[in-house]
Chain A
Amino acid sequence: MYLCSEQGQNLIKDDIQKEGITRVVAACCSPRTHEEIFRKTLNSTDLNKYLYEQVNIRDQCSWPHIKDKENATKKAMTLVKSGVYRAIELEPLEDRKLPVLKSTLVIGGGISGINAALDLARDGYKVYLVEKNPSIGGKMAQLDKTFPTNDCSACILAPMMVDISNNPNVELLTYSEVENVSGHIGNYHIVVRKKQTSVDWNKCNGCGDCSIVCPVKVDNEFNCNMDKRKAIYIQFQQAIPMKAVIDKTKCIKCKLCEKRCQVGAIDITKNDDEYVEFDVGSIIVATGYDLFDPNKKAEYDYDHPNVITSLELERMMCASGPTKGEILRPSDNRVPHTVSFIQCVGSRDEKTNDYCSRICCTYSIKHARLLKEKYPDMDIYIHYIDLRCFGKGYEEYYRMAREKGVKFIRGRISQVDSIGDRLEVSGDDDTLGEQISVIADLVVLAVAMESPKGSKNLANLLNISTDKTGFFKEIHPKLKPVSTDSDGIFIAGACQGPKEIPDAVSQGKAAASAASSLMSKGEIGVEPLFAQVIDEFCAKCRTCESLCTYKAIKYIEDENKIEVDIALCKGCGVCSAACPSSAIKANHFTNSQVRMQILALTGGLK
Chain B
Amino acid sequence: MPATDYALYTGCIIPLRYPDIENSIRETMPLLGANVFDIVGAGCCPPGGAFWSVDEISGLVQSARNLSIAELMNKDLMAVCNGCFCYLKNSNLLLKDNQEKREKVNTILNQIGRKYHGTISVYHLVEILHDKIGVEKIKESTKIKLDGAKAAVHYGCHLLRPSDHLMAENPEKPHKLDALVEALGMESVYYPKKLSCCGAGGGMRGNNPNATLKILEKKLMNIKYSEPDCIVTCCPFCFLQFDLGQKGLRDKGEDFCIPVFYYNQLLGLSMGLPKKRIASISETPRDGFIKKFYGVD
Contact = CB atoms under 8 A, between A and B. Distances in A.
Interface of A: 297-299, 415, 417-419, 424, 426
B252 interface: no
Given A298-B173, A415-B193, A418-B190, 11 more contacts: A297-B172, A298-B170, A298-B172, A299-B172, A417-B192, A417-B193, A418-B192, A419-B192, A419-B225, A424-B192, A426-B193
Interface residues of B, number: 7
A297 B171 CA distance: 11
Nearest to B191: A417
Select the residue from B170, B192, B193 with max chain A CB neighbours within 10 A: B192
Contacts of B193: 415, 417, 426
13 contacts: A297-B172, A298-B170, A298-B172, A298-B173, A299-B172, A415-B193, A417-B192, A417-B193, A418-B190, A418-B192, A419-B192, A419-B225, A426-B193
A298 B171 CA distance: 9
Interface string B203-227: 0000000000000000000000100
A426 B218 CA distance: 13
Contacts of A297: 172
A417 B226 CA distance: 13
Contacts of A418: 190, 192
Interface of B: 170, 172-173, 190, 192-193, 225
Contacts of B190: 418
9 smallest beta-carbon distances between A and B, as pairs = A298-B172, A417-B192, A298-B173, A299-B172, A417-B193, A419-B192, A424-B192, A418-B192, A415-B193
A211 to B, nearest CB: 39
A345 to B, nearest CB: 14
Contacts of A299: 172
A424 B194 CA distance: 13
Contacts of A426: 193
B199 to A, nearest CB: 15
Nearest to B196: A415
Contacts of B172: 297-299
Contacts of B192: 417-419, 424
A298 B173 CA distance: 7
Select the residue from A297, A299, A417, A419 with max chain B CB neighbours within 10 A: A417
Nearest to A426: B193
Contacts of A298: 170, 172-173
B184 to A, nearest CB: 25
B224 to A, nearest CB: 12
Contacts of A417: 192-193
Contacts of B173: 298
Contacts of B225: 419
B25 to A, nearest CB: 30
A351 to B, nearest CB: 10
A428 to B, nearest CB: 15
A419 B190 CA distance: 10
Nearest to B174: A298
A28 B103 CA distance: 51
